[in-house]
Structures are given as C-alpha cells and as structure tokens.
Amino acid sequence: MATVRPFRAVRPLPGLAAQVASLPYDVMNRAEAKTMAADNPLSFLHVVRAEIDLPDRIDDYDDQVYQKGCDRLREMIEEGVLEQDDRPMFYLYRQIMKGRVQTGVVATFSVDDYLANKIKKHEFTRKDKEVDRTRHFDTCDAHTEPVFLTYRSQSAINRLINDFIKFNDPVYDFKTEDGITHLLWLLDDREAISKLEALFDQVDALYIADGHHRSAVSANIAMKRRRDYPDAPADAEFNYFMAVVFPDEDLFIMDYNRVVRDLNGMTPEDFLERISGIYQLEPVEEPFRPHRKAEMCMYLQDRWYKLTAPPSLFEGLDPVKRLDVSLLQDNILTPLLAIDDPRTSMRIDFVGGIRGLDELKRRVDEGWAAAFVMCPTTMDDLLDIADAEMVMPPKSTWFEPKLRSGLFVHMFDDWPSCS
C-alpha cells in the first residue's frame, strides 16, 4: 500500500516557468552548469548548483555553496518568481519527447514507506553524494528537486489522470531548448484528490527509477528532525519527500555507456585477442546502439566492433548478473582491465546515451582507450531486481527525458529558514 499525499508546492509563476526550469543538478559538471545559467538569473541552477555563483577557487562542498543556494531560493520567493499554493493538491506533470509522452503525478511520499521498502530500491548510494544533498536540502529547509518514481501501470489511475487532463487546461506549457515539451496541471478538485489517494493506496509497491540519493537524503533528514523535534506531528512535512511517480509503461531507458582510460598494459591487438576468447567479435563499418540482450558495440583505435555474448556466458545467472552491464563488468572490466569497483575507479567513466555515440568516439579519439555501447536495461529488469531486493551495478539506467528542476519545491515549513 502506497501513501501518496497532496502538498502545497512552491512553484514559478506561469510566465516564468520556462526560465526557472533547469536540468537536475547531477547531469552536468560545474563548468557546464555555469554556462547553462550564465544568461539566465532565474535558472534554478542558481539554487541547486549554487557554486556557479561563487569564485572558482571555492570548493563545490564549501559551506558557502549551501548558504548561497538557500539565499537564492529565498530571494526567488521574496521577488515573486516563486509562490506557494494556498492549499494542498496534486500536480500532473507531462513531458513529450519526440512524440513519446510520459505523465506523472507530483506528490509527497512517506519516508516510513521508503524505510519499510514499500518504495523499492535497485542501486547503492555513495556517501559523498548523500552528504552533499543532505546539506543542501537541510540548509534550504526544502526538497528542491523531486525523486523519480514508477509503479506497475494501473488502468484506473490512468483513466482518472487522462480524464482530468482532457477537461482542464495546463498552467505550464513550454518547450525547452532540447525540444522537450513540459506541461503541468493543478489537480485541485477535492473529490479527484481523494479518489487518487485511494487508488494509490491499492498499489502494492512503488519503485525508485532515478533519485536514490535524494530518497536516502530525505530519510536521513527526517530521522534527524524527529530526534531534534520529538513533539512534531506525524504528518510534519519533513516526514514526506517530493517525487513524481509515473506508470512503468510510459518510461524510456536509454543506454548508459562506458569509456575506459587504459587497457591495463595490453596493446589494442592483445586486448582484441583476449576479448575474442569471450565474445564473438565482428568489425562493423558503422557504430550502432544494441537493441538485443547480450550485444555490445565497442570503439577501439579508430574501429567499431560488434560484441555478442554466447549463451554460456549468461544462461542460469540471476537477474543482476544477466544484465549487459554486469556481463561487461564480470567478463572484461574486472578480469581483463582490473577495474574491480566502477563506483570508485578513476579509470572508467560513464556516458549517458542522450549524449550520442559521437561523444564516445570523441572521448576515445582524444585519449581514452576504448568505449562500450550498452544494450539498455529494461523496465522489467528494474522492477524484477527491485522486487528481489537485489542491487544493480552503478550507472545501469539512464532515463529520458529528465525531470526539470524548479517547477515544484516542497518546503519543510512555509518559509525557508536558511539556517
């Protein structure tokens, strides 16, 4: 049973939504974020990546960064760029990318459901990223960015959402520079709110699609504030975190690819020979994105190759070990390249499929040793692994489109304290 609750979002005025909306904090580096926000003082990157407004000598995790982000959030509220709705409601957030539509419910979700594994996980978190977002949320006194959740599609929920959208106009309707359309409806009808709450109460489980760190951070903050404020009511805002929940059938997972810095002392010829003893290796004239399990595309020394795993490599393995990212890790990265822990190794990097195959070629042409194009993980893979309480390798999924930040903020109180 999933507890899904309406809330009073802090959000942009309709005419400013397109200027405020930004990509999430973790899909770009500091220099890229600075460039993206340079000519737009209303970009929400000034809140979630506030280091861009400090001298470059200031470390990304300096106390000044978190204070700067909170100050900017407070300023945007004081300036009337952001306003808080006067009553709790749900929000329907639709994104359209190249004709494909995904529609989710923006709401708050119980930290206790997360702790009880009613909101299921499929990834480990990194301590440094947890500490960073904990300091950011705690200083801002708000969830400034949503978690990305999913659930097994329910026809009754779909009908309610689609019927509401059919007969109501969106408050936001804009297209971002990447060609993605963003629309937001206010589901403020009390009867519809109650019905949607009841329908979600019948959903067996929710799943984190993206945002494991934001979920863990929300739980950390709730536990801390329960200790600090033992008399706070059970429905205190810090006991709930903000997320957008989508039916699984709407979602699209792209390839999440790998580049390696060196070949562990081998020549390219030696490396190819070693791989050919594991995978079927075939030179190809053009790069391609694999769409079949157990296939990869590799770029090495100005040439593209198709790698096909024999059935003996994956038959009988558990759901995690059968993933293509696991096959690469267990048969090439660890035994051949001695990259034992991709979460910490500086000899590997990860490139989201949205950046295209040309980005992989560029990285190798400029000095990296090899690139691997992966077959995307499927939604069935994700749900099955989460149900089995297993954990995927890092960087197994890349969802597109990304949720835009700044379109809704969940305050722990009615006003950011910045303390």
Classify burial at 323, counting beta carbons within 10 Å of its beta carbon; exposed 0-12, middle 13-18, buried 19 or more: buried
Helices (H), 38-126: 45-48, 63-78, 111-115
- Phi/psi for 282 (5° steps) reads -140, 120
User: Is residue 402 very low, low, confident or very high in pLDDT (cuts 50, 70, 90)?
Assistant: very high
Classify burial at 181, counting beta carbons within 10 Å of its beta carbon; exposed 0-12, middle 13-18, buried 19 or more: middle
Cβ–Cβ < 8 Å for 226, 162:
no
**Residues 248, 254, 256, CA angle at the centre, nearest 5°?**
125
Answer yes or no: is 324 within a domain. Answer: yes
Alpha-carbon distance of 37 to 259, in angstroms, equals 28
* 300 and 229 co-located in one domain: no
Report the CATH number at residue 340: 3.30.1760
Alpha carbon 165 to its chain's center: 25
Cβ–Cβ < 8 Å for 416, 15:
no
* 336 and 231 co-located in one domain: no
3-class DSSP assignment, residue 23: coil
* 262 and 309 co-located in one domain: yes
**Residues 69, 231, 190, CA angle at the centre, nearest 5°?**
70
119: number of Cβ within 10 Å: 27
User: Is residue 416 very low, low, confident or very high in pLDDT (cuts 50, 70, 90)?
Assistant: very low
Q: Which residues pair with 257 in a beta bridge?
A: 351
Average pLDDT over residues 45-73: 97
* 127 and 179 co-located in one domain: yes
pLDDT at 363: 97
The one-letter code for the residue type at 62 is D
User: Is residue 415 very low, low, confident or very high in pLDDT (cuts 50, 70, 90)?
Assistant: very low
* 246 and 346 co-located in one domain: no
- Report in angstroms the alpha-carbon separations of 53 from 68, 128, 418: 8, 22, 17
Match 């079927």 to its residue by tokens.
Answer: 280
Helices (H), 246-323: 268-276
Domain tally, the chain: 2
> Over 60: is that where the pLDDT of 418 sits?
no
Answer yes or no: is 383 within a domain. Answer: no
> Over 90: is that where the pLDDT of 125 sits?
no
* 36 and 160 co-located in one domain: yes
376 DSSP 8-state letter: P
* 231 and 259 co-located in one domain: no
Classify burial at 28, counting beta carbons within 10 Å of its beta carbon; exposed 0-12, middle 13-18, buried 19 or more: middle
User: Is residue 57 very low, low, confident or very high in pLDDT (cuts 50, 70, 90)?
Assistant: very high
Alpha-carbon distance of 228 to 217, in angstroms, equals 16
% the chain with pLDDT above 70: 99
Q: Which residues pair with 27 in a beta bridge?
A: none
132 DSSP 8-state letter: H
- Phi/psi for 370 (5° steps) reads -160, 155
333 DSSP 8-state letter: I
* 41 and 93 co-located in one domain: yes
Cβ–Cβ < 8 Å for 352, 27:
yes
Tokens matching residue 217? 């951070």
* 368 and 407 co-located in one domain: no
User: Is residue 2 very low, low, confident or very high in pLDDT (cuts 50, 70, 90)?
Assistant: confident
Supply the range of the domain harboring residue 316.
254-376
